[in-house]
Amino acid sequence: MTTPFEAMRGVVNVTQFLPTLVAGGQPELRHLEAFKAAGGKAVVDIRAPSEPRAFDEPGAARALGLDYAQVAVGPTPLTDELMERVLAALRRHPGENVLLHCASGNRTGGPMIAHLILDHGFEEEDAVQLATRGGLRSPEILAWGLNYARRHGDHP
């Protein structure tokens, strides 16, 4: 049987962050179909609704029976409230297969850093390394994730 990670083959910067959490760039319809067939339960899309897509992702995800959440991370300020909205969307599905994505994987890095540190006990260095492997390139997004985790956890 195909795993949710294998279902995302071909998506830019796709990375398996946790056994039930895959993140990367923009999937195509075929990826969402394969993700669902592999046991996928939810999609957390952090692209703005105005960003161009090749298909109606919210409609397609819902038609497939996937829980779909959209939290725009983009030109808006990278605030605690925005981070909390992304983390809440991820936390709604404990133990279930979730896909987190943006256009390239870059924007997933900040929330992944915070999620891995705060919810899964990762060390900062390990969380940053994994987020970087998953496409994180922006120093601002990296700082957003680390600073949030430092202020909201037991980490120095």
User: Domains in the chain: how many in total?
Assistant: 1
CATH number of the domain where residue 69 is located: 3.90.190.10
The pTM assigned to this predicted structure is: 0.95
pLDDT for 25: 97
Tokens 């994994």 sit on residue: 130
Domain range for residue 36? 4-152
CA distance 150 to 156: 6
Q: Based on the number of CB atoms within 10 Å of its own CB, is 36 exposed (0-12), middle (13-18) or buried (19 or more)?
A: buried
* Mean pLDDT in consecutive groups of 10 residues from the start of the chain, 156 residues: 94 96 97 98 96 94 98 90 97 96 97 97 97 96 97 74
Tell me if 89 sits within 8 A of 71, measured CB to CB. yes
